[in-house]
Amino acid sequence: MYSQQELVLIIAGMAIVTYIPRILPFFTGIDVERYGFLKFIPVAIFSSLAIPDVVIETGAIAPEKIVAGIIAVLVAYRTKRMFLTIASGVTVLFFIKYILAY
């Protein structure tokens, strides 16, 4: 187990590594508009984390997760808002699993 000092150093290191790419363009004069493809990185990361869990659950396809995923994709396409997308997917999944008791 890590000591408290090691945990603080790990968290500080992760914070530094996270924020350096965000503040670097301001100090180096890099033209951020030139790299417009970077706006797709959050979507790519979110989808790489969400899709495996939606499609496969312990070796079997989970239809309730697929339905919730489709609803979330439609909300994302329509609204372009990450929070609303996640909230709609979780709400639909909750409704199917616990209200309909599927």
Rounded to an integer, the average pLDDT of 39-50 is 79
- 26 and 43 together in one domain: no
In this prediction, residues 16-24 reach a mean pLDDT of 84
Domain count, the chain: 2
Q: What secondary structure letter does DSSP report for 61?
A: E
pLDDT in tens, 48-97: 887 888 777 667 778 888 899 899 999 999 998 888 998 999 999 999 98
Which one has a higher pLDDT value, 4 or 24?
4
Amino acid in the structure at residue 55: V
Write out the residue range of the structural domain in which residue 14 sits.
1-30
Q: What is the pLDDT of residue 67?
A: 92
| CA dihedral of 36, 41, 43, 49, whole degrees rounded to 10 | 170
- Give me 27's structure tokens: 């100090």
* Mean pLDDT confidence for 13-40: 81
Residues 11 and 43 reside in one and the same domain: no
